[in-house]
Structure 1
């Protein structure tokens, strides 16, 4: 083996090692969240666990709103500015985004806390939900900051740490509180708030340790690189994308709950989460590659960008293959492992796997668009995805139940993959 071949092989091993580290971080997230949800439901019982999951949903949606797209924008700006030696500009983007998330998150938290009683009585028609929602207000800002700091670490090419901070640490910390003896709903929600604060602070310490990188250094591209837009301009379309992406997977479940039987809703929800394991693989690898996408685009290194894009697609296809094989050929067996009775969603799982297969073959092109500054185009792709999902849900779910929900979910997953890939081919053919 020649020296060049050896370097290429070592580089490939290093790349896949980084991807594996990122997926291990997501694996910790899955273990922590699954343990938290299962143990929390067991400790709190049916009544209080309903409020717990209601608060988790509320926090998830409004923490996303609080981030305003700045968490995705900061990945691009920090990575792109550092790539051409503009450390001060990267620091400015980081501070600007952090202050914006802090202010928006504080406002949203205060509104939730102040209006918790009317929200409970008028929106949910349950006065008992007021106190849990009031406590949930204390979680929104810390979780928004947790995700923002995690993405800032990704912009610094510390993707495994970034995923731990935004997704892995807080569920594990909260689970530890439950194991330590927290038994009440109030206690669990307070522990969740403290866990998010702790994770955000750990992330801030990690960012602070890299403060030496936020200085200007000489670069071959001084004065030649295109000026990046203001951070808020990058963030605005991405805010729409992020909000829609957290709401979209819930639409088929909500309509199925309206027209289907409870057993169908439960079985489909489990099948949907199993199928999303391929998305976890893609998100893990994509988060590692995102800052490099931004840096290569900023430097105008089209050959390197195309090569990276192809490596990412290959890695996701390789890591997703065993999961997809299981979903296609052993759906009932996989669902039975969850519990007896869930096998009724076997056909739905196969349909969901078709959508995930398409995404696994054309993954992460929406990340390429976001990191290259095409957030506006990505926003319209997401809007189209939402319209198609709504139409299919309304047409299919009342007549076909969970099969209709599975078809709608598979189509919108495929639509994002195909649409974003075509958009990259049209706007940046040299990147594909």
Structure 2
């Protein structure tokens, strides 16, 4: 093996046999429980805002918070992904004791950057508000700027906890606690009738979330037993790491900064459509577009639950060059995503008019947007987690390129389609951008680890979802007609049948919580 053998302290029974599927699945179950509650709370939050306030007020809040989230993605400098990547590798190579030093090295620049961006957002709130239109926009943006550093700190702390395979903190703090507080505060705002405080109600919970996340991370790092021995390696990327488990700033930021730009572009795709519609079609159109795309955001809670659990495991598998485990986890994870998201997207697609009326009668025009978005998300779910695998190989430059191309497609599509088609045009641009970002990594990874979603687990997941949430609702609509009662009946029966099918076919779906 040469003078410097590669030492990887892994347990064969778990790490080699199935890619650690059970461990990822257990974490995914925790995340999914939190995601289910978080999705319901976020949907309730949007419904409360759209029903209690005018389209202009709702559109203003949605546009301002979209700017906030894009600025937060700028401020974090890619540190969340960098922390997951390097802490996971430290654990594989017996260097877990280096995590505290890594956190200190990473968070200094992140804190400074978040403060600078928050200050800039506060100072330039008026020019940005003039572009959005309504007079209250500047006050919204300034309130949001105050809490931007806390949002960035929350994201970094939660990423570090997930790197240690702790999924409970993310579920409790980010999926349940923060949206619960937002909903409660918005409820108080509704009772008081003071729409000017909506931004405070939305952003304020980031402060306690940051405190709780860092407190819990401190407990996790304190409990982690540092490894005494630091094995040598001839791996090129590992040579960039210093002794005693430390990662050099050059190694960390060469990974994280391209991921930061990619994350900004990705957030621009997810939230940029709201801002583009507000700029090109008015804040009322932005409110309709936001409401119609909430189903996509709700579905992303399920997707993110799987991604958060799988991310550190992908980093470990790739560090130990277990490509068979990577393929197994990719295909199993894709099937889990389909099981979680296709029921939602198919139901919303079939019953689009009924779903949009939940936000209020004036939002019925968003049914076309909802159909377009759901159709695109069905395809995106099947393509799986290729972009995450690409990032965990360390190829953040390619990930950045993919996200920039995706953003270009989204912005170009909005410029071409929104003036003439409004929100539906923005939906087409959004779907096109997402599919570009999902497709490119599978082609780029072909020489490293060949990934394709065509597999038995994915086929079983797709087939079951189509039966219970495609064929059954269409049959119910044909026999009973449309309307909310048909929607409730079809979804209720579909959920029961889907859960029974998933349990019956659990072996085919790689759903093994234990041996």
After TM superposition, give the deviation of residue 302 of structure 1 in Å.
1.9
**Residue 196 of structure 1 pairs with residue 209 of structure 2:** no
Looking at structure 2, the residues matched to 172 and 33 of structure 1 have their Cα atoms a distance apart, in angstroms, of 8
Q: Is the 8 A contact 2:59 2:286 kept in 1?
A: no
Question: For each residue in 1:232-277, what CA deviation from the matched residue of structure 2 results, as whole angstroms up to 9, or x when unmatched?
Answer: 1111111111111122234444454566587765444322222343
Residues 419 and 75 of structure 1, relative CA distance in 2, 3 Å threshold: same
Corresponding residue for residue 27 of structure 1: 36
Counterpart for residue 169 of structure 1: 177
Higher helix share: 1
Q: Structure 2: which 5+ runs fail to align? A: 1-12, 241-249, 454-515
Deviates more, 1:167-176 or 1:71-80: 167-176
**More displaced stretch, 368-377 vs 79-88:** 79-88
TM-score normalised by the chain length of structure 2:
0.71
Q: Partner of 2:216 in structure 1?
A: 206
User: CA shift at 1:124, angstroms?
Assistant: 5.9
Superposed counterparts of 1:290-309, under 5 Å? 290-309=311-330
Matched, 1:388 2:409: yes
Q: Matched residues in 1 for 2:358 and 2:36: separation?
A: 19
Q: CA 1:87/1:141 → structure 2, altered by over 3 Å: closer, same or farther?
A: same
- 2:226 corresponds to which residue? 215
- What is the rounded CA distance, in whole Å, between the counterparts of 1:321 and 1:42 in structure 2? 27
Q: Which residue of 2 aligns with 1:92?
A: 101
Aligned to 2:371: 350
- Aligned partners of 2:434 and 2:314: how far apart in 1? 22
Residues 1:156 and 1:379: Cα distance change in structure 2 (over 3 Å): same
Q: For the Cα contact (< 8 Å) 2:61–2:140, is it kept in 1? A: yes
Matched length = 423
Contact 2:38–2:179 (Cα < 8 Å) also in 1: yes
TM-score, scaled relative to structure 1: 0.84
Post-superposition shift, 1:34?
A: 4.0
Q: Counterparts in 2 of 1:207-356, with a 5 A limit? A: 207-210=217-220, 211-213=222-224, 215-218=226-229, 222-225=232-235, 226-227=237-238, 230-257=251-278, 266-340=287-361, 342-356=363-377
- How far does the alpha carbon of each residue in 1:103-122 deviate from its partner, in whole angstroms, 9 at most, with x for none? 21122233444x25754776
1:370 to 385, 391, 407: 391
SS, match of residue 140 in structure 1: helix
Task: Confirm whether residue 101 of structure 1 aligns to residue 110 of structure 2.
Answer: yes
Q: Evaluate the alpha carbon distance shift between residue 431 and residue 85 of structure 1 in structure 2; reply closer, same or farther with a 3 A threshold.
A: farther
After superposition, the CA RMSD in angstroms is 3.5
Show the counterpart of 2:428. 407
Is 1:303–1:431's contact at 8 Å kept on the other side of the alignment?
no
**Structure 1 residues 294 and 110, CA gap change in structure 2 (3 angstroms):** same
